[in-house]
Amino acid sequence: MIDRAGLAEFLRRRRESLQPEDVGLPRGQRRRTTGLRREEVAALCHMSTDYYARLERERGPQPSEQMIAAIAQGLHLALDERDHLFRLAGQHPPARGAASEHVSPGMLRILDRLDDTPAEIVTELGETLRQTPLGVALTGDLTSYTGPWRSIGYRWFADPATRSLYAPEDHAFLSRMWASGLREVIGRRGRASRAGHLADLLLADNEEFRAVWDEHEVGIRPHDVKRFVHPELGRLDLTCQSLLDPQQAQSLLVYTAVPGSESHEKLQLLSVIGAQAMP
């Protein structure tokens, strides 16, 4: 059963404990609110202010698992706090580890401070969970996919348009890398895992994947420099640095360019063009 009073109090306390800079928002002038405003939390959670406000007032319907997950992420809750929130809402907490899409508060705080840099948080299957605005401008919104299409490894073989974002001379290597990575995840999680399901889909429908898969390669790692092809700016050679959250099997990928290089100048231009540069 939902604990409406407990849920409302917990939400208020967590909202009041956060400052705008904690979640990547500007503080602005003449701010009298203790912590975040309700409308700010609602925006972070991708829901209406009225819906969120009713929860804090012990009203409204019982929130779904999807709504609770969105609130937990918007409030930058740690895993124990997320699980407590689910129980207050009368829901079972979701699984932890590789199956979880909950991004840790620490990882989100880092991402929030990278507003001038292309960056993304991805799962071990190459599913993008979060992107910075400049990350969206570089590759498009990769968080909008559903089902198997969320994995870039699956899209790489199933949708030829995916490859247009990468230098043609890297395509053969990237095919081997995605297949190698998928095989390694299956080794860790088992054939009955989501990774195994992706492999089965591709083996059934994609001849190129079958040929690469039959090589049984593992241990192929990304190059330090990724060569992107932007539809407006052309080629950008970007160094990729990664930060791993082993508890959640998620990585923060940050893309930078050598200062003074042509790619660095293009990144600066990309920050001006913004997401509108992508069709």
The pLDDT tens digits for 4-52 are: 999 999 999 999 999 888 888 887 777 777 789 999 999 999 999 999 9
Question: Is the C-alpha dihedral spanning 142, 118, 18, 127 positive or negative?
Answer: positive
User: What contacts 85, CB < 8 A, 6 or more positions away?
Assistant: 7, 10, 68, 71, 72, 77
pLDDT of residue 278: 46
- The architecture CATH gives domain 4-94: Orthogonal Bundle (1.10)
Task: Please list the residues that pair with 256 across neighbouring strands.
Answer: 239
The pLDDT tens digits for 157-212 are: 999 999 999 999 999 999 999 999 999 999 999 999 999 999 999 999 999 999 99
Mean pLDDT of 58-81: 92
CATH topology of domain 105-277: Beta-Lactamase (3.30.450)
The 3 state secondary structure assigned to 61-113 is CCCCHHHHHHHHHHCCCCHHHHHHHHHHCCCCCCCCHHHCCCCCHHHHHHHHC
3-state DSSP assignment of residue 122: strand
Q: What is the DSSP string of 182-239?
A: HHHHHHHH-TTSHHHHHHHHHHHH-HHHHHHHTT--------SEEEEEETTTEEEEEE
Mean pLDDT of 94-118: 87
Task: Please list the residues that pair with 128 across neighbouring strands.
Answer: 122
Structure tokens belonging to residue 254: 């940050």
Query: What residue spans define the domains of the chain?
Result: 4-94, 105-277
- Enter the pTM of the model: 0.82
